[in-house]
Chains A and B, each alone.
Chain A
Amino acid sequence: MRLDPLIIETVKKNLKEKNQSEKLTDLVLDWFDKKDEAKITSEKKDELIDKIIKEIKI
């Protein structure tokens, strides 16, 4: 991933602070990665967002 490591660390930390699961963190970072590489189709993106939304606990 070409994102600055500090961004990844900060997102991880903030998700953890809001009591979110590691699975959600992994899904979000996976999305960053795919977005960065422009390797994601609209259908796959929608599937990924659906998974992310399901995983959010509030």
Chain B
Amino acid sequence: MRLDLVKWESAGLRCPDFDIDIEKNGEILPTLLQMPNGTGKTTTLDLLKCCMYNHEFTTREIQEYKAKGNEYKEKGFFQAKLKLDSEIFYIKISFDFKNNKASYSSSLSSGGWKPELILPTPLDKIIDKGLVDLLFIDLEKCEKLFRKHLTEAQDAIRKFCKITILNRIISDLDEHKKRARNIATPRGSVEINIATEEARNKDINLKYNEIKKQEEKCKKFLNDTEDKFTEYDLIIREKLEKDDQLKKRREELETKKNKAEALYQNALLNNFNKIKIIGTYGGNLEKNLTGFVEGLDKLQLPEAEARVFFEELLERDHCICGEELNEKRRQNILKEKEKFISIDAARIVAEIKNSVKIHISENQKTNLDEVNKVTQKFKHEYDSLIEDLKLITTKTFKDDMKIWDDYNKLKKERGEKEYFLSVTIKKPWKSIDNESNTESLISLKTQKELSDKRLAELTGTQDIEKKVKFLINILDSSKEEAEMKISKELTDECNNKIKKMLSKDPVYIESIEKHIIFKDQQSKGSTGQEARIGIIFLLTILDRSLIKFPLVVDTPVKGMDFAGRRRTAKFISDLKSQFIGFVIDSDKEDFSDKLKEFSNNKANFITSYRRHPEFDKLASEFQMGPKNSGNSHVVYDYNFFNKFKEETDPDEL
């Protein structure tokens, strides 16, 4: 599958009215598009992305696309022409600024214009916003590939290497199993059991999907707040370090508080362990306990045994006292029947009675009052130290309490999300778990398997269930194994490129699992480093993938030295997918000329600018001046591209 961006045009938007043809003599070549700052690079990139998936435009977004001042028009549009293998299709986004509306229309080769976004089926099946964000990328914003709570790098591997197909196959197998169960559904009483279990199975699935969504939300929250939290952390640390005396006092208190906390927790645990041994308590409690057990002895029969007795009684004509059993008496018996304790309660009562029987005669009694006193003493010490710490914090942050409060609020929220991701959803399955009392994905998965097994038994489809499960397990483990191997190969390939491209400042990759991890325990790269590694990763994965999608990059050589630029030009010239790079005049040195050289002149160099006398004059010198009065001009010429330079800030003229 090969997707190419052939052309796009825009009118009535905040960017000039461009009509940019990427095809050169019928060929799609690596393209550098020079657009001076303020010409609409970001707008173009954003709208190109929106052409690839159904984007819900907000009123604010629509207003942001509106042309300003005397260029304002009530309506505008952006249209992209694309080619999927040999099929040409168009996507158009129309803006109605007066009524704050944006709408899609599209035209596939199989039919005329339709008033909605329709992509060719094979493309529609694999493309989504996540993929589009990777393919149409501003390298200054590629941090998602590197953030520990996000899985953008892993998702890219899964999509480009088509690991996702295995998930679709697994889902088909699951559906097939369900259909087999439906066909085999027996009638009668089993039918009710099947319906109940099917409903439960459905509830487990719903809960699983709900928790999955929650998991994504937590990850997003942690990623979105990471920079803010780091910033707060830095401010707080600076403040705490500033006053030596306060810092020393705080450290002392922290140490004491930690000790007091450990002692308090230890006392609580000790207390709890003693309470658990029923029957060892001394003092008044001993008497109370003896009375309590006597009371328990008087309790009636457990429910199950009582039920048998009463049911047998109800079947008789006469009561055991010899009286005839009329309706009123039968009702009384039924009422009495409900008063007896359940089997679970009976078990607990038996445990208590047994424990008291064993321990009541022991000589060494536990004085719970004494144990409680010790616990309270530790708690008091701990609480006092917490108060002291609060006081010292108020003193340190007296002018900035808001920062301290905001920091703590965010810390607490992040802590809760991190706990959810690392503990809650990973709790092991327990036999008492059901879909309502757990948020563990592991438990829900096991519950689903058990429910499937039960359904298979009820419907007599155990053979299909077993075989499907067998195949799913093989596919699941193959998926994990293949993903690991691909990640390893990609890491090695990226590091080879890094060695060549970033020879003076190489930052190597340790691994690519959920996200890209830097070597040497460097948790986070600079924006420049992330941009450089980001493009290396994308070039590598696109090169490996058998899906050839366009890579559209804003500032492809951001922060690179000249050697890095030359290497990037080489990799782009070798790339089998389409490449479009948005550049400004300062990006060209040792990059555009090298791309021309490495591609044997088979590259496309386009300059598009908002009309200005300075640029028009230059274009006329190349006999390529504008022939109309529009607000933009596009020049398809390498020499012009090379010469084009913003000598003066247009606003100053």
Contact = CB atoms under 8 A, between A and B. Distances in A.
Contacts of A6: 161, 482, 485-486, 489
A35 B545 CA distance: 17
A46 B176 CA distance: 7
B162 A4 contact: yes
B173 A3 contact: no
A45 B470 CA distance: 19
Nearest to A53: B467
Contact of A36 (B165, B176, B481): B165
B470 A58 contact: yes
Contacts of B471: 28, 52-53, 56
B468 interface: yes
B482 A53 contact: no
B262 interface: no
A7 B486 CA distance: 9
B486 A4 contact: yes
A18 to B, nearest CB: 6
B169 A7 contact: no
A4 B547 CA distance: 10
B475 to A, nearest CB: 7
Contact of B176 (A2, A11, A49): A49
B492 to A, nearest CB: 13
Interface string B558-583: 00000000000000000000000000
Interface string B51-80: 000000000000000000000000000000
A10 B121 contact: no
Contacts of B298: none
Nearest to A15: B474
A7 B162 contact: yes
B650 interface: no
B544 A4 contact: yes
Interface in A16-46: 18, 28, 31-32, 35-38, 45-46
Nearest to A5: B546
A46 B464 CA distance: 13
B474 A11 contact: yes
B146 to A, nearest CB: 23
Nearest to A50: B176
A1 B168 CA distance: 16
Given A18-B474, A56-B471, A58-B470, A32 B169 contact: yes
B477 interface: yes
Given A2-B546, A10-B485, A58 B165 contact: no
Contacts of B1: 2
B172 interface: yes
A42 B25 CA distance: 43
A10 B233 CA distance: 46
Interface residues on A, range: 20 to 34
A12 B247 CA distance: 63
B499 interface: no
B546 A14 contact: no
A4 B651 CA distance: 52
Contacts of B475: 11
A21 B485 CA distance: 25
A17 B220 CA distance: 40
Contact of B161 (A7, A11, A35, A37): A7
Contacts of A2: 1, 162, 546-547
B162 A10 contact: no
Contacts of A15: 474
B466 interface: yes
B166 interface: yes
Interface in B533-564: 544-547
B467 A56 contact: yes
B196 interface: no
Contacts of A4: 161-163, 482, 486, 544-546
Given A2-B162, A38-B121, A7 B482 contact: yes
Interface string B150-166: 00000000000111011
B613 interface: no
A58 B122 CA distance: 36
B1 to A, nearest CB: 6
Interface in B103-148: 121-122, 125
B478 interface: yes
A49 B172 contact: yes
19 contacts: A4-B545, A7-B161, A7-B482, A9-B482, A10-B485, A11-B478, A14-B477, A18-B470, A18-B474, A32-B165, A35-B165, A36-B165, A38-B122, A49-B172, A49-B176, A52-B471, A53-B464, A53-B467, A53-B471
Q: Which 7 A-B pairs have the closest CB atoms?
A: A4-B161, A2-B546, A10-B482, A7-B482, A56-B467, A11-B478, A10-B478
Interface of B: 1, 121-122, 125, 161-163, 165-166, 168-169, 172-173, 176, 179, 464, 466-468, 470-471, 474-475, 477-479, 481-482, 485-486, 489, 544-547
